[in-house]
Amino acid sequence: MPFEGPFDSDEASDAIAEIQEKDDITAVMTEALGEFVQDNEEYAEEGYVESSLAISCLVAARISGIAPDEVALHWLNRNPFTVSDDLRELAAAAFTLATRLEGNHLSEVGRAGDWPAFLDYLEPYRKALHGEPQDPPAPFVPDFSHLKEQWFQAFWTIADRSLPPSTAYAKAAERLALSVNESPDWLAWWRPAGLQELIVFGHLVPGEYTERVSRGRTTAEAWLDFGRSHDLSEDAAGQRVTDDFQKALAAVGRYLHLGPLPPLSSLS
């Protein structure tokens, strides 16, 4: 497996997604890491190590505010919790076990050469857990000098799968997203965020409307359940898509304290 980061495996993603559904995140993390540290001989296999390492890195990033992963920064932004003394100690112990060389699934598959690079990548998390000083990264400066650079992306799902690109909604959404990217007025609206990219994840099923927005170091994310179906005629899809984009971009603007939205109707 390529070592791209502690949150890239399915096991890590599932673990942190499950935790954010809980009422007491600190307690859930403490329990999970406590079990791993106590019974680590049983958890030296694929899956358990990945999930424990991911949780430990979230704790580390909460302590220091420093993380090389956008995933961590967004997760922490959406899920506030307090690091107790017990949680910090368990996270440090779990991190050590998850990054040991012997008897560890991760190190076994990483001995081909990726392992030292992976440990270097994790160093900010290790330093945070052990209270070692570290310099924060240099301030991020977005670059929009490339004319074809897309600063806005939107992805759509229905139930538990992606929205088929052949649907009228998907076609209208693709056209509008391209127009937003190419609009000088919308780029001017986005620039004060100081971020490189905005990613919208839209879920199109009947139900209640919900929104969650978070910011990382380089990106902003918006997760929206629009509470209605995508199943529309071509004539109706354009206005529905415009309305949904309006909701999503307004939510982002409120969260990031951006200015008034430029008109979308002229782009659709």
Beta bridge partners, 248, equal none
Are the C-beta atoms of 107 and 101 separated by less than 8 Å?
A: yes
Tell me the whole-structure pTM to 2 decimals: 0.89
Tens of pLDDT along the chain (268 residues) come to 455 789 988 899 999 999 998 899 999 999 999 999 987 665 556 678 899 999 999 999 999 999 999 999 999 999 999 999 999 999 999 999 999 888 777 777 765 568 888 999 999 999 999 999 999 999 999 998 876 668 999 999 999 899 999 999 999 999 999 999 999 999 999 999 999 999 999 999 999 999 999 999 999 999 999 999 999 888 889 999 999 999 999 999 999 999 999 999 766 5
Helix/strand number for the chain, H first, E second: 10, 5
pLDDT score of 1: 45
pLDDT score of 174: 95
Instruction: Give 172's contacts (C-beta < 8 A, 6+ positions apart).
Output: 234, 237, 238, 240, 241, 268
Tokens representing 209 are 């409307």
pLDDT score of 115: 86
As a whole number of angstroms, the distance between CA 113 and CA 216 comes to 30
Are the C-beta atoms of 189 and 180 separated by less than 8 Å?
A: no
Residue type, 68: P
Are the C-beta atoms of 128 and 61 separated by less than 8 Å?
A: yes
pLDDT score of 46: 61
